[in-house]
Amino acid sequence: MRATVMHGPGDVRIENVPDSQIREPTDAIIRVTSACICGSDLWPYTLMTEGEPAQRMGHEAIGIVEEIGSAVATLKKGDLVVMPFAFSDGTCVFCHEHLHTACQHGGFFGNGGMEGAQAEALRIPQADGTLFALPVGPDDALMASLLTLSDVMGTGHHAAVVARVGPGKAAAVIGDGAVGLCGVIAAKRLGAEQIVIMGRHADRLALARDFGATEVVSERGEDGVARVLALTGGLGVHAVLECVGTDQAMDTAVGIVRPGGAIGRVGVPHYEAVPSSLPLFFKNATVGGGPAPVRAYIEELLPDVLEGRIEPGRVFDRTVGLDGVPEGYRAMNDRESIKVMVKP
């Protein structure tokens, strides 16, 4: 079978690899019907270092169950399923607390030697706890939006939940990538009255407005902070959705959060220590977040997708076959594309 393998910075290849196989009785094999390239895939694409082992890529997918292990109880061959970016057993103490990304028997796809979803098929550990069977067929018109439940929509929602977005509140979303755009959807869905999107790409900002952003701020650094403060009567926003992961983004988050407010961070942090910790302290603001437990959010978000109340699938602006994956990475890295769908 064919799969995407990252070898080094800018060096992503489609290769023939051994067919995925059941290894544990709790495994399933899915045939991938659609997958994605993620903004977080761009970190190894740009920063992978010499000597790091080659890695199968991709952690977002919808697929069809092709084979199940002897202990898999809730799935059957032919089921159409969403694969969250993390696998989880659904039964441990953390899964019961709806923090599936801390599962005691969990892990992450396309990472640390795990198989990836930018491939014809892959092995799913803890299949019963991980996969979510969809109530639609593989040709459903909503497939793009359903695919976002594997990561970006659940991740944007997590940022909003951790940032304590609620009715009547002012929210700001830092980052206009697919997660930031889904964060706008989530903030609106949870009732935010004012939603400021911070970014600088015209196409993405237009989509953010469609999704419910009330204001756009394209300035960065101190100028960006000043603009957001001006838009909120000098108070700052109750909720900051930090969807980038750089120290500059975190500095901005601390600058624009209102005293007593909350910052939900879902971009993998590329800094050692949380910047601006002194102003953060004097604001009594909360910083939370981490890898989103998207498996926990599928049930909540699915009805809104199925009934067309939210359309996160609009973040996809390009579709490629497996052979087009390297070009898809390049296009996302050059910010020519917001998010690429892969149809193996």
Chain centroid to CA 344? 20
Residue closest to 149 by CA, chosen among 122, 178, 125: 178
User: Measured from the CB of residue 130, what is the shortest distance to Zn ion in angstroms?
Assistant: 10
User: Measured from the CB of residue 90, what is the shortest distance to Zn ion in angstroms?
Assistant: 6
Output the DSSP codes for 223-237.
HHHHHHHHHTTTS-E
Instruction: Please work out, in degrees rounded to the nearest 5, the angle formed at the alpha carbon of residue 179 by the alpha carbons of 177 and 185.
Output: 110
Helix ranges (DSSP H) in 36-164: 42-47, 93-96, 127-130, 143-147, 152-162
Q: With respect to Zn ion, which residue has the nearer C-beta, 89 or 151?
A: 89
Q: With respect to Zn ion, which residue has the nearer C-beta, 125 or 255?
A: 125
Q: With respect to Zn ion, which residue has the nearer C-beta, 95 or 294?
A: 95
User: Measured from the CB of residue 126, what is the shortest distance to Zn ion in angstroms?
Assistant: 8
User: Measured from the CB of residue 162, what is the shortest distance to Zn ion in angstroms?
Assistant: 20
Chain centroid to CA 285? 24
Q: With respect to Zn ion, which residue has the nearer C-beta, 37 or 103?
A: 103
Longest dimension (CA), the chain: 61
Q: With respect to Zn ion, which residue has the nearer C-beta, 116 or 125?
A: 125
Contact set with Zn ion (CB under 5 A): 88-89, 92, 95, 103
User: Measured from the CB of residue 97, what is the shortest distance to Zn ion in angstroms?
Assistant: 9
User: Measured from the CB of residue 105, what is the shortest distance to Zn ion in angstroms?
Assistant: 6
As a whole number of angstroms, the distance between CA 298 and CA 103 comes to 17
* Element spanning 280, H or E: helix 277-282
Q: With respect to Zn ion, which residue has the nearer C-beta, 103 or 301?
A: 103
Q: With respect to Zn ion, which residue has the nearer C-beta, 26 or 145?
A: 26
Residue 122 pairs in a beta bridge with 30
Residue 48 pairs in a beta bridge with none
As a whole number of angstroms, the distance between CA 248 and CA 240 comes to 14
User: Measured from the CB of residue 199, what is the shortest distance to Zn ion in angstroms?
Assistant: 35
Token digits of residue 258: 């209102």
Q: What is the identity of the amino acid at 260?
A: G
As a whole number of angstroms, the distance between CA 72 and CA 155 comes to 27
